């Protein structure tokens, strides 16, 4: 059942992001570090917002327990320390 929630959230996140862009609060071409300074490490310093949104940031799907995934503070810290597996924007 949780898979359906995550699947549904994709559309809602897309709408929210588009509204932020429309209001000038977010720029698709901006570097992620503009909004999330801690993200700029381990080969991720050139990652753009669009790289994250289009799954081209080089981040892998790790096997985290659900308790960790649902803890925003833990996941923000974990992802900021993640290592990019390929150059952002490229496959």
Q: Which residues contact 90 (CB under 8 A, 6 or more apart)?
A: 56
Contact between 73 and 38 (Cβ < 8 Å): no
55: left (phi over 0), alpha (psi -120 to 50) or beta: left
Nearest Cα residue to 58 out of 76, 41, 43: 43
For residue 91, what pLDDT is reported?
46
d(CA 29, CA 21) in angstroms, rounded, equals 10
Within the chain, which residues score under 70 in pLDDT?
1-6, 87-91
pLDDT (tens digit per residue) in 11-23 = 888 999 999 999 9
Contact between 45 and 57 (Cβ < 8 Å): no
């Amino acid at each position: 059942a949780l898979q359906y929630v995550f699947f549904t959230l994709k559309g809602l996140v897309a709408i929210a992001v588009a509204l932020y862009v429309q209001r000038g609060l977010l720029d698709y071409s901006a570097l992620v570090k503009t909004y999330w300074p801690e993200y700029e490490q381990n080969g991720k310093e050139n990652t753009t917002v669009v790289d994250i949104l289009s799954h081209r940031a080089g981040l892998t799907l790790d096997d985290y327990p659900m308790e960790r995934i649902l803890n925003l503070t833990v996941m923000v810290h974990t992802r900021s320390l993640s290592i990019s597996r390929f150059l952002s924007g490229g496959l």
